[in-house]
Structure 1
Amino acid sequence: MKPSFFSLHEIWMILRFGIVGVMATLIHMSVASGLVHFASVNVFTANLAAYLIAFIFAFSGHFFWTFQTGGALRQALWRYFVISASAFAVNNLVLLALVKSGVLSKVMSVLIAAAIVPAISYFASRFWGFKQAQTDHGVV
């Protein structure tokens, strides 16, 4: 029997996803600010390094704890990269549209665009990214 979307199992999975996401965000912020402040690294280089470190943390957290699929590591890593890059692209497109519309302040536009990413990431990760590969004979 598959758990329903509002089951305790699903709610716990959403909470784990949030915990990993918040921790990854804090890692990203800490590494980027530390590299810029203490090592005088270029802000874009620092942001890229911090993003990659946070990405590795988030992927590991989601693979081994949030979704606990036990599936193919390489497949899940590739899919999570696609999800992460796509969510970032959607974030920027929404931000661009909101800023260009002039309806909201830039800060409110950033907050709304950023709020969309976790939902996209969760559903894509839950139903595709960390889903075990299937063949005609069952799980690969």
Structure 2
Amino acid sequence: MVIRQFVRYIVVGGIGTLAHLGVLSACVEWFGWPPAAGAVAGFSVALLISYVLNRGWTFQSQRSRLAAFWRYTAVSLGGLALNTGMMMGLIRYAHCDYFRAQLYVIAVVPVCNFLLNRYWTFNAAQRTA
């Protein structure tokens, strides 16, 4: 069951990434927003989409929607901070190029976020079968 949840989590992450990139592109190209503002909008839309899909499809959580949403947001922002910190450390201290550093980060952050969301955000012990 954990493997099935992790695969679903990765699928949802891919959907969220596509949504993020789509909103970012639309904001910058169609609406003339600065890229940083478009990135925030994309992150926000991806957060909402991935929350809904992970709550209902990946984890089938029974936790209240509001409590789960705030926990999910905290985990997502923590993942963003971990991503940024690892990138900076790998580039500065391990002398990795940015692309290789991001590949290392991708191997760590989604697993951490999955575990936090499974056991804290959506509380796997209370999910339905």
**What is the TM-score of this pair, normalised by structure 1?**
0.83
Query: Match for residue 77 of structure 1?
Result: 69
Q: Secondary structure at the match of 1:60?
A: helix
In the alignment, the residues of structure 1 paired with residue 106 and residue 3 of structure 2 have an alpha-carbon distance, to the nearest angstrom, of 22
Matched, 1:60 2:52: yes
In the alignment, the residues of structure 2 paired with residue 107 and residue 73 of structure 1 have an alpha-carbon distance, to the nearest angstrom, of 36
2:74 alignment partner AA? V
Query: Match for residue 112 of structure 2?
Result: 120
Q: Secondary structure at the match of 2:96?
A: coil
Return structure 1 stretches of 4+ with deviation > 3 angstroms.
none
Matched, 1:96 2:77: no
**Considering only CA atoms, is the larger Rg found in Structure 1 or Structure 2?**
1
Query: Match for residue 47 of structure 1?
Result: 39
Task: Provide, for residues 44-97 of structure 1, a one-character-per-residue CA deviation record: whole Å limited to 9, x for no partner.
Answer: 111111110110000000111110012211111111111001111111111110
* Of 16, 20, 23, the match for 1:24: 16
Contiguous gaps of at least 5 residues in structure 1: 1-8, 135-140
In the alignment, the residues of structure 1 paired with residue 106 and residue 29 of structure 2 have an alpha-carbon distance, to the nearest angstrom, of 25
In the alignment, the residues of structure 1 paired with residue 47 and residue 103 of structure 2 have an alpha-carbon distance, to the nearest angstrom, of 21
Q: Secondary structure at the match of 1:28?
A: helix
Contiguous gaps of at least 5 residues in structure 2: none
Percent of matched pairs sharing the same residue: 26
* 8 Å Cα contact 1:27-1:54 kept in structure 2: yes
Task: Provide, for residues 9-47 of structure 1, a one-character-per-residue CA deviation record: whole Å limited to 9, x for no partner.
Answer: 222111111111100001001110121112211111111
After alignment, is 17-26 or 33-42 more displaced? 33-42
Q: Count how many residue pairs are aligned between Structure 1 and Structure 2.
A: 126
**What is the TM-score of this pair, normalised by structure 2?**
0.90
State the shift of 1:115 in Å. 3.2
1:97 alignment partner AA? G
